[in-house]
Amino acid sequence: MSKATSAQARINSNIIESLGTTVTHYTYVSQTLDKWGDATITYGSTGGLSMPESIKCVPYSYIFKKTDFQAFGDVQKGDLLMVFKDSQTLSEKDKIDYNSKTYYVRQIENFPLQDINLVKVVMLVEKL
């Protein structure tokens, strides 16, 4: 267990904090529908956090022109995978601004080792 905890600490400090990029994270709060069924999504502060927040992550596997088939799921054109610290609070429907583009969190997977989650791997879909 201590080797996994040590690996998690090294990944957080040596990779995510040192080499990662800063993105802007908006927490999904609610969605309301008007009488025509059009949705208005609210992003804001929850749990005492002021939003938006700047967080570090490592983006990889950006798909430009094709579909990439991976064990994590099919990644479509414009989708992006990012690695976040396991301690980072994220949920589906959250919004991430990266490289002047807006992405929405589609799927979150934990990457475990010896019963410790090393990181979160997050699939993002680009807002069109």
Report yes or no on whether pTM surpasses 0.85: no
Residue 94: CB atoms within 10 A of its CB come to 19
* Mean pLDDT value across the chain: 81
CB-count exposure of residue 23 (10 Å: 0-12, 13-18, 19+):
buried
Report domain extents, the chain: 2-126
Question: pLDDT by residue (tens digit) across 13-58?
Answer: 888 888 889 999 998 887 888 888 887 877 776 555 556 889 999 9
User: What topology does CATH give the domain 2-126?
Assistant: Thrombin, subunit H (2.40.10)
DSSP three-state, residue 46:
coil
| pLDDT tens digits for range 95-121 | 999 989 999 999 999 988 888 889 999
